[in-house]
Amino acid sequence: MKTLLIIGIGAGDPDFVTLQAAKALATVDVFFMLEKGATRDAMVELRREVCRRHAGDRPYRVVEAPSPPRERRPADYTACVDDLNRAKQGTFERMIADNLAEGQVGAILAWGDPSLYDSTIRNVEAIAARQGLAYEVIPGISAVQALAARHRITLNSVAQPVEITTGRRLAEGWPAGVDSVVVMLDGEDTWRRFAGEEIDIWWGAYLGTPDEILIAGQLKDVSDQIHRVRTEARERHGWIMDTYLLRRR
């Protein structure tokens, strides 16, 4: 039987790879990667560096394919994500069928942890049902964990919950019943909507990489700074991956 591993490789630092993930990487015959274009060369190189450091001396192959395009401002977000995932499933299914032999181990490297705002597990589950694959999930260090560690903070205040959400959902309003909100996948600088309120922010971009940027303070004091730095960084690199924690005072 073919086996596919979904391996969380952390938020950007190759040293974020856990011992469990390193052991799993050393068993892989074929790594499957979807690439998003030349502007993401740094992300490609980070994944290759993880393989160089942790895949061991045994021979392995890397099979790449272009990532299916995604509409950036869809009228129906859920339908758009469903279409994207079906396209990714088709791409991975062809890659696995053409490149992974019976008895071999393949792997998909997931940024951060594959359980958090990532569709890899759902996609592999669908592929496994059709192809009869065995698959396993190895957890990783998420951008949320890295953000808290870099800023030397806890995500929640004492005895209170924390909510993890997206910029799109935050734009609909502050989540009810929480004073601490972690925001991921925010392409619209949504924190600026709350700049007039008594809120603190801890923001980080390119976490765990040499390009890492950290800014923290009262939101009303640092909102414009984060917007400026974020805009400049995205223009310079061609992409940005950032996460932040908001906490009401």
230 pLDDT higher than 70: yes
Q: How confident is the model at residue 38 (pLDDT cuts 50, 70, 90)?
A: low
Under the banding of pLDDT at 50, 70 and 90, the label for residue 45 is: confident
Average model confidence (pLDDT) across the chain: 92
Q: Which residues lie below 8 Å from residue 142, measured CB to CB, with a gap of 6+? A: 8, 11, 112, 113, 116
Is the per-residue pLDDT at 108 higher than 90? yes
Q: Which tens digit of pLDDT belongs to each residue from 11-30? A: 989 899 999 999 999 999 99
pLDDT score, position 12: 86
% of the chain residues with pLDDT over 90: 76
pLDDT at 41: 64
Domain-wise residue ranges, the chain: 3-138, 143-248
Q: What is the rounded average pLDDT of the residues 179-208? A: 96
Q: Where are the alpha helices (DSSP H) in the chain?
A: 19-25, 41-54, 77-99, 120-131, 143-151, 167-170, 219-237
pLDDT category at 35 given cuts 50, 70, 90 is: confident
Q: Domain 143-248: give its CATH code.
A: 3.30.950.10
Quick check: 47 pLDDT over 90?
no
Place of tokens 């906490």: 247
Assess contact for 150 and 167: CB atoms under 8 A: no
Angle, CA of 155, 160 and 166, to the nearest 5°: 50
3-state secondary structure of 113: coil
In the prediction, which pLDDT does 79 show?
84
pTM summary value: 0.90
For 154, the token pair is: 């806890």
CA distances from 55 to 17, 25, 226 (A): 11, 5, 37
214-221 contact pairs (CB < 8 A, 24+)? 214/150, 214/151, 216/151, 219/191, 219/194, 219/195, 219/246, 220/195, 220/196
Side by side, the strands of the sheet bearing 162-166 are 162-166, 180-184, 242-248, 199-205, 213-218
What are 48-71's pLDDT values in tens digits? 889 888 888 889 999 999 888 877
Q: The domain 3-138: what is its CATH number?
A: 3.40.1010.10
Question: What is the reported pLDDT for 135?
Answer: 97
pLDDT digits (tens, 9 = 90+) for 109-153: 999 999 999 999 999 999 999 988 999 999 999 999 999 999 999
CA distance 7 to 55: 12
CA 191 – CA 211 distance, rounded (Å): 22
